Amino acid sequence: MNAVRSDAATEAAIAVFLAEPVVARLLDALNGDGEETRIVGGAVRNLLLGASRNDVDLATTALPAETIRRGKAAGFKAVPTGIEHGTVTLVSKGHSFEVTTLRRDVETDGRRAKVVFGRDFVADALRRDFTINALGLSRDGRIHDYADGLADLGRRRVRFIGEAQERIREDYLRILRFFRFHAQYGVGAPDAEGLQACIAGRAGLAGLSRERVRAETMKLLVAPRAAATLDAMMGAGLLMPVIGGVPYLSRFAAVARERGEDVHPAFRLAALAVTVREDALNLRERLRLSNEEFDRIERIAMALEKLGGRGGLPSIAALRHLAQVVGSDTAAAALVLLNASAESGVGRAAQQLIGDLGRTPAFLPTGKDVVGLGTPPGPRVGQVLETARHAWIEAGCPAGLDKQMALVSAVMA
């Protein structure tokens, strides 16, 4: 976990960031002649932590039309991505920046807010969700902190700005964001006031779009402290309403420890909530999974069903046969899930099987080879290849085209 940088290190990091040519050009274009623009939100937070920055957002006193005019004059392409809410995306040479006019809320319904534009950086910062997301950085390198975000960042505490229940009533998605940001940046137990406010407002989750819930859930699952945070959600009665079933927290904890943070979020979701294909179908409906996400999870569920009834570890031949149906990565993932425990992780025997599966040589014969041996083109060619592949696996997967073609010939005979 990164610590908040010392003053000297912070000043140096800020200076380097503000000197980046595209950043300097953008800020110089948007500042001056009565207008001011600041870097805000996650980019400032991560800069202070020394963490990577994916997006750079800015807040400006300028109205959207003026932002577009100035951006174009400085060589940026202007895209009105959310212009009704004051947001314009400025793009230059692969870099994109969301620039939003300062706002204040005039009406909220728990899902979205009606806003009016303003010129008050304090009011704009205090309408955000968490103190660590309300930091601003001006062109002169000063950090602006109106909600004690620096102190919370130093303590690794994710805390709502102002009264937690009020922030949640403005947008119930903030319940999931509270846990997601805690899993990413927090330590220890979640902030007590925030946790109680989430529990009190949990009925509001039902009114959120499933796409928004899915996006936050997937980010939470790959955060560094996801396992402990999911435990806290379960204890608060907030996890089952999200996934629509009983979670496998011990299995998830083992997977989160074993597989690192670069694993696909769909695998983490399968680890948390899937044992049979019906679970995958439920998640697709509940979270509006993408086709690619559902395909991954469904194949894992199919592999779990095939492996689950065997008792103990499968043979390498059985695992290779399964890999021919669902793919090697999916077969390995299912084996990991079946053999992972929070106490011991994935056992050595299972790891050895997965290693052997990964070292399986390629099956080289093709339909053209089968035709060359005298089988007429048609369905029979595929049947010969499939039978030969089965025989090849049972024979221990010998490498080399000559040995494999001998198996094809034997099948044809």
User: What confidence tens digit (pLDDT) does each residue in 241-276 have?
Assistant: 999 999 999 999 988 876 555 678 999 999 999 999
Mean pLDDT of the region 395-410: 94
Q: Is the pLDDT score of 195 beyond 80?
A: yes
Helix ranges, 260-347 (H): 265-273, 277-287, 291-308, 316-326, 328-339
Token pair listed for 215: 């996006």
Give the pLDDT score at 345.
62
Model confidence band, residue 150 (pLDDT cutoffs 50, 70, 90): very high
When the pLDDT of each residue in the chain is averaged and rounded to a whole number, the result is: 91
Full set of structural domains in the chain with CATH:
1-155 (3.30.460.10), 367-412 (no CATH)
How large a percentage of the chain has pLDDT more than 90?
A: 81
pTM of the model: 0.87
Cα-based distances in Å from 75 to 33, 68, 72, 92, 93: 19, 11, 5, 7, 10
Determine the pLDDT at residue 300. 95
Q: Which residue has the tokens 């991560």?
A: 46
Q: Give per-residue burial for 96-126: e unless 16+ CB within 10 Å, then b.
A: ebbbbbbbeeeebebeebebebeeebeebbe
Kindly state the tokens that stand for 35.
Answer: 């207008």
The confidence score (pLDDT) of residue 6 equals 67
Tokens of 291: 């086709």
| pLDDT score for 8 | 85
| pLDDT at 176 > cutoff 80 | yes
For the ranges 125-129, 211-215, 271-275, 309-313, which has the lowest average pLDDT? Answer: 309-313
- The whole-angstrom separation of Cα 287 and Cα 132 is 28
